[in-house]
Amino acid sequence: MARACLVEGIFMRDGEAQPLVDCLQGNGEAHERLTGACEGPVRMAEAVGAPQPKVTWLAACPTAAQARCEGIGGTRIAVYHYRRTADQLAQSRPGCEGAGGEWVEGGGKD
Protein backbone atom coordinates (compact mmCIF):
# COMPACT_ATOMS: atom_id res chain seq x y z
CA MET A 1 0.00 0.00 0.00
CA ALA A 2 1.29 3.45 -0.90
CA ARG A 3 2.15 5.61 2.07
CA ALA A 4 2.73 8.93 0.30
CA CYS A 5 1.37 10.99 -2.58
CA LEU A 6 3.30 13.37 -4.80
CA VAL A 7 1.12 16.28 -5.97
CA GLU A 8 2.32 18.20 -9.04
CA GLY A 9 0.52 21.03 -10.75
CA ILE A 10 0.00 24.77 -10.98
CA PHE A 11 -1.79 26.89 -8.42
CA MET A 12 -2.71 30.54 -8.49
CA ARG A 13 -1.45 32.91 -5.81
CA ASP A 14 -2.26 36.59 -6.08
CA GLY A 15 -3.18 36.11 -9.74
CA GLU A 16 0.15 34.49 -10.58
CA ALA A 17 0.56 30.86 -11.70
CA GLN A 18 3.09 29.04 -9.54
CA PRO A 19 4.28 25.45 -9.71
CA LEU A 20 3.10 23.12 -6.99
CA VAL A 21 5.27 20.13 -6.12
CA ASP A 22 4.41 18.77 -2.69
CA CYS A 23 4.40 15.30 -1.22
CA LEU A 24 2.23 14.14 1.66
CA GLN A 25 3.52 11.22 3.71
CA GLY A 26 1.30 9.30 6.11
CA ASN A 27 3.84 8.30 8.78
CA GLY A 28 1.42 5.71 10.15
CA GLU A 29 -1.73 7.83 9.78
CA ALA A 30 -4.85 5.95 8.65
CA HIS A 31 -4.80 5.45 4.87
CA GLU A 32 -8.27 7.00 4.53
CA ARG A 33 -7.03 10.18 6.17
CA LEU A 34 -3.96 10.32 3.91
CA THR A 35 -6.16 9.75 0.86
CA GLY A 36 -8.41 12.63 1.91
CA ALA A 37 -5.42 14.92 2.39
CA CYS A 38 -3.99 13.95 -1.00
CA GLU A 39 -7.31 14.68 -2.70
CA GLY A 40 -7.45 18.17 -1.14
CA PRO A 41 -5.41 19.93 -3.85
CA VAL A 42 -7.53 18.22 -6.53
CA ARG A 43 -10.76 19.44 -4.91
CA MET A 44 -9.30 22.93 -4.47
CA ALA A 45 -8.32 23.08 -8.16
CA GLU A 46 -11.81 21.96 -9.18
CA ALA A 47 -13.39 24.62 -6.98
CA VAL A 48 -11.50 27.45 -8.68
CA GLY A 49 -11.59 26.02 -12.20
CA ALA A 50 -7.85 25.35 -12.34
CA PRO A 51 -6.25 22.34 -14.02
CA GLN A 52 -6.20 19.31 -11.74
CA PRO A 53 -2.82 18.47 -10.29
CA LYS A 54 -1.25 15.10 -11.00
CA VAL A 55 -1.24 12.79 -7.97
CA THR A 56 1.26 9.92 -7.90
CA TRP A 57 1.18 7.37 -5.08
CA LEU A 58 4.59 6.38 -3.67
CA ALA A 59 6.06 4.27 -0.90
CA ALA A 60 7.68 7.41 0.59
CA CYS A 61 8.26 11.05 -0.31
CA PRO A 62 11.51 11.94 -2.09
CA THR A 63 14.14 13.12 0.39
CA ALA A 64 15.29 16.19 -1.56
CA ALA A 65 12.62 18.49 -0.09
CA GLN A 66 13.39 22.08 0.83
CA ALA A 67 11.20 21.96 3.94
CA ARG A 68 8.44 19.94 5.52
CA CYS A 69 5.49 20.46 7.81
CA GLU A 70 5.24 17.66 10.38
CA GLY A 71 1.95 16.76 12.06
CA ILE A 72 -0.27 19.12 10.12
CA GLY A 73 -3.84 19.34 11.36
CA GLY A 74 -3.16 17.20 14.40
CA THR A 75 -2.32 14.17 12.25
CA ARG A 76 0.90 12.25 11.67
CA ILE A 77 0.96 13.46 8.06
CA ALA A 78 4.02 15.39 6.89
CA VAL A 79 3.88 17.70 3.88
CA TYR A 80 7.16 17.95 1.97
CA HIS A 81 7.78 21.02 -0.24
CA TYR A 82 9.87 21.02 -3.44
CA ARG A 83 10.83 23.59 -6.10
CA ARG A 84 9.69 26.61 -4.14
CA THR A 85 11.24 30.04 -4.09
CA ALA A 86 12.46 31.44 -0.78
CA ASP A 87 9.38 33.70 -0.75
CA GLN A 88 7.03 30.76 -1.34
CA LEU A 89 8.66 28.82 1.50
CA ALA A 90 8.34 31.82 3.80
CA GLN A 91 4.64 32.07 2.91
CA SER A 92 4.11 28.36 3.60
CA ARG A 93 5.54 28.34 7.12
CA PRO A 94 2.73 30.33 8.82
CA GLY A 95 0.13 28.04 7.22
CA CYS A 96 1.93 25.00 8.58
CA GLU A 97 2.24 26.39 12.07
CA GLY A 98 -1.31 27.78 12.00
CA ALA A 99 -2.58 24.28 11.23
CA GLY A 100 -0.76 22.87 14.25
CA GLY A 101 2.25 21.57 12.33
CA GLU A 102 5.94 21.90 13.05
CA TRP A 103 8.03 23.55 10.31
CA VAL A 104 11.32 21.77 9.59
CA GLU A 105 13.91 23.06 7.13
CA GLY A 106 15.07 20.35 4.73
CA GLY A 107 13.31 17.17 3.82
CA GLY A 108 15.14 14.25 5.34
CA LYS A 109 14.26 12.82 8.71
CA ASP A 110 16.59 13.88 11.51
Q: State the total domains in the chain.
A: 1
The pLDDT tens digits for 22-70 are: 999 999 999 999 999 999 888 888 887 778 899 999 999 998 999 999 9
Range of the domain at 49: 4-105
How many angstroms separate the CA atoms of 97 and 60, rounded?
Answer: 23
pLDDT at 107: 63
Domain-located, residue 110: no
pTM metric for this prediction: 0.88
pLDDT of residue 72: 92
The answer to whether residue 85 is domain-embedded is yes
Q: How confident is the model at residue 4 (pLDDT cuts 50, 70, 90)?
A: very high
Query: Which tens digit of pLDDT belongs to each residue from 59-103?
Result: 999 989 999 999 999 999 999 999 988 988 998 999 999 999 999
